Amino acid sequence: MILDVRALTRRFPVRGGHGAVHAVDDVTFAIGHGESVGLVGESGCGKSTVVRLVTRLDDPTDGRIFFEGHDVGAIPAKRFARTAARGRIQMVFQDPADSLNPRFTAFDTIADPMRRLGESAMRARLRDRVHEVADLCGLPAELLGRYPHQLSGGQQQRVGIARAIALEPRLLVLDEPTSALDVSVQAVILHLLADLRQRLGMSYLFVSHDLNVVRMLTDRVLVMYLGRIVEQGPADVVFEQPAHPYTRALLSAVPADGGGPRSRICLTGEPRSPIDPSPTVCRFHGRCPEGFERCEREMPVLRAAGAGRDHEAACHLLDAPVGSAVS
């Protein structure tokens, strides 16, 4: 395991009020060496908070984060910038325009992590190394002297990727790396990312709400809803045989490509409030088309689902199948 996250919890106090927003609640997952794990869910489900916690930009309220066997969750985010593990967990941001310093040229942006964290051998041949990394990301050398506003969106994202892989990280967190790009550029960047993972042997935590992209790029998928993981398993299994009603609804919203019409599951009702949610009610209750009385009494925990190995879902239906469980 390269990353092992246990019972991760992050609560934010509500400004000028009582209670706390439970952004991430009791999340446990692991990423193996060279594995690519997808994290999906709707806006506000806590994906980005998980990313900030795993990349150690934010401190968890509770829970532990083990990276390569070390408890990195115990190091305060403020001090983590200067530890050895910093260069080994890197990230590609969602909005390339926002994630590049407007006053840094592409060269300086890519060189910054090497100057700060690189070993002296790497700093000695900084120029060569920057060119090497830029080349790996398909960034022509003549663009290295440019400022971000002089680059296109796709070029900006290549700079962002080059910066992230400059230190040869073992874990690369990708926070919706293509959602701010034009559709034509998206595919190119996704191919680049898939290619880089192969070449450099990195592990990916791939966050997205584009399910087709997740399916293409990941081995395993985590589905989050209101701060909790509701289903996890191998990508094929989760996409073919979703066990949680939320995953089924999510997948039914993906436009079917060429095939017959997919039956849409339309969710009704309001999502539950993330502010001090009841610990004994399923987070999906009220919006779940298949909710029943037990969902109001007891919070479902992850349990084995279906035949696939490692496939788990947090739903009472898996214990007590009711007639309507299959849709």
- How far apart are CB 26 and other proteins at their closest, in Å? 25
> Which pairing describes strands 89-92 and 171-175: parallel, antiparallel, or unpaired?
parallel
- How far apart are CB 271 and other proteins at their closest, in Å? 25
Encoded amino acid at 191, one letter: H
Q: Is 116 in the site for other proteins (CB under 8 A)?
A: yes
* Contact residues for 314 (Cβ-Cβ < 8 A; gap 6+): 228, 229, 230, 231, 244, 282, 300, 301, 302, 303
Instruction: Return the number of the residue (90 or 186) whose C-beta is nearest other proteins.
Output: 90
Give me the half-sphere count of Cα atoms (radius 13 Å) on the Cβ side of residue 301: 3
CA atoms of 110 and 144, how far apart (whole Å): 9
Instruction: Return the number of the residue (88 or 283) whose C-beta is nearest other proteins.
Output: 88
Considering only the stretches 35-43, 123-131, 160-168, 184-192, report the one whose residues sit in contact with other proteins under the rule CB under 8 A: 160-168
Instruction: Return the number of the residue (132 or 298) whose C-beta is nearest other proteins.
Output: 132
Is-contact 58 64, C-beta < 8 A?
no
Query: For other proteins, what does the binding mask look like between residues 16 and 55, x meaning CB under 8 A?
Result: ---------------------------------------x
> Which pairing describes strands 203-207 and 220-225: parallel, antiparallel, or unpaired?
unpaired
CA atoms of 102 and 97, how far apart (whole Å): 8
Instruction: Return the number of the residue (204 or 246) whose C-beta is nearest other proteins.
Output: 204
Run of H or E including 12: strand 3-13
Q: Is 68 in the site for other proteins (CB under 8 A)?
A: no
Q: Which of 227, 245, 233, 209 is closest to 283 using CA atoms? A: 227
- Chosen residue from 12, 66, 147, 239 binding other proteins by CB under 8 A: 147
Within residues 81-100, the interface with other proteins by CB under 8 A covers 81-82, 86-87, 89-91, 93-95, 98-100
CA atoms of 285 and 292, how far apart (whole Å): 8
Is-contact 302 282, C-beta < 8 A?
no
Run of H or E including 78: helix 77-80
- Chosen residue from 103, 183, 184, 264 binding other proteins by CB under 8 A: 103
Q: In angstroms, what CA-CA distances link 188 with 108, 235, 258, 269?
A: 24, 22, 22, 38
Is-contact 228 26, C-beta < 8 A?
yes
Considering only the stretches 25-33, 112-120, 194-202, 296-304, report the one whose residues sit in contact with other proteins under the rule CB under 8 A: 112-120
Q: Is 3 in the site for other proteins (CB under 8 A)?
A: no
* Contact residues for 312 (Cβ-Cβ < 8 A; gap 6+): 231, 232, 233, 302, 303, 304, 305
Instruction: Return the number of the residue (90 or 247) whose C-beta is nearest other proteins.
Output: 90
- How far apart are CB 56 and other proteins at their closest, in Å? 9
Instruction: Return the number of the residue (101 or 152) whose C-beta is nearest other proteins.
Output: 101
8 bridge partner residues:
27
> Cβ atoms within 10 A of the Cβ of 293, count?
7
Number of residues that bind other proteins (CB under 8 A): 29
- How far apart are CB 257 and other proteins at their closest, in Å? 32
Q: Is 157 in the site for other proteins (CB under 8 A)?
A: no
Instruction: Return the number of the residue (52 or 283) whose C-beta is nearest other proteins.
Output: 52
- How far apart are CB 62 and other proteins at their closest, in Å? 22
Would the CA dihedral through 302, 304, 308, 313 be positive or negative? negative
Considering only the stretches 31-39, 144-152, 195-203, 266-274, report the one whose residues sit in contact with other proteins under the rule CB under 8 A: 144-152
Residues that bind other proteins (CB under 8 A): 55, 57, 78, 81-82, 86-87, 89-91, 93-95, 98-103, 112-113, 116-117, 147, 149-150, 160, 163-164
